[in-house]
Amino acid sequence: MVKKTYAVFGLGRYGMAAAKELVKNGMDVIAVDLDAQIVEDAIEELPICKCADVTDPKVIEQLGISNVDVVIIAMANNLEASIMAITLCKEKGVKEVIAKCSNEMHQRILKLVGADIVVFPEIESGIRLAKTLLTSGSVDILSLSNELSIVEMNVKDEWVGKNLMELNLRKKYSINVVAFSKNGKITAPVNPESKLDKDMLLIAIVNTEKLTKIK
């Protein structure tokens, strides 16, 4: 597993669950919340936990967000703050910004301002988000049940140059690839004989627990 650096903005139930799961798995996590009491309560479980306003450009600079690989913005109850945080993170060159939203309209807005992925808190578990990030670089985009999700996942190095028939992902990992995404273009249905390349994203229906077993 490639070790990445994460930041989590907003330590409600969702953000706290994601941050704790990432820390438990040895990741470097910068956790931030505006509420001093929440930060004080979280500090024992989250080694780097700051009380700060992530809508302030100076704070983003001081936190060193430009060196972070993935930022999770878990502030669905504050659209304005989410928009500002996304904008600042993208200005600092963060490759992947994941934002939590409260409805479809907010989802569209957060995508427009630069969020790479927007998730609904009511259908997304913070722990599951962390697990899928840790294991396969995938992120849930829709939960179908407690066990099944539709995810967007990276092509692993050992899959490059092979096709779905060769990899047999459905049998090995219960991964049912339904579409390919490349350069913003989605191809569906998939041709099982098409060779995978590193620039592709796979959109798949997966068993979440089995997904975490991919090395």
Query: Which of 125, 147, 163 is where one domain is finished?
Result: 125
Cα–Cα distance measured from residue 21 to residue 65, given in angstroms and rounded to the nearest whole number: 20
* Region for residue 194 given its phi and psi (left: phi exceeds 0; alpha: psi -120 to 50; beta: otherwise): beta
Cα–Cα distance measured from residue 146 to residue 53, given in angstroms and rounded to the nearest whole number: 34
What phi, psi does 213 have (nearest 5°)? -90, -5
- Over residues 168-205, the pLDDT tens digits come to 888 888 888 888 888 877 787 788 899 999 889 888 87
Query: Dihedral of the CA atoms 151, 155, 159, 165 (nearest 10)?
Result: 40
pLDDT at 72: 96
3-state helix, strand, coil in the chain (%, to 5): 35, 25, 35
Residue 141 has pLDDT above 60, yes or no: no
CATH of the domain at 58: 3.40.50.720
143/88 same-domain check: no
CA-to-CA dists, residue 86 to 14, 26, 55, 61, 181, angstroms? 18, 25, 9, 14, 23
For the chain, how many structural domains are there in total?
Answer: 2
Torsion 165-169-171-176 (CA) sign = negative
- Over residues 20-74, the pLDDT tens digits come to 989 988 899 999 999 999 999 999 999 999 999 999 999 999 999 999 999 999 9
Residue 17: give the domain boundaries: 5-125
115/147 same-domain check: no
8 Å CB contact between 84 and 10: no
CATH of the domain at 178: 3.30.70.1450
Q: What is the pTM of this model?
A: 0.63
133 occurs within a structural domain: no
144/117 same-domain check: no
CA-to-CA dists, residue 151 to 15, 34, 61, 112, angstroms? 19, 31, 32, 20
Cα–Cα distance measured from residue 132 to residue 127, given in angstroms and rounded to the nearest whole number: 9
- Over residues 96-129, the pLDDT tens digits come to 999 999 888 888 889 888 899 888 764 446 666 6
169 occurs within a structural domain: yes
46/106 same-domain check: yes
What phi, psi does 28 have (nearest 5°)? -85, 120
16/90 same-domain check: yes
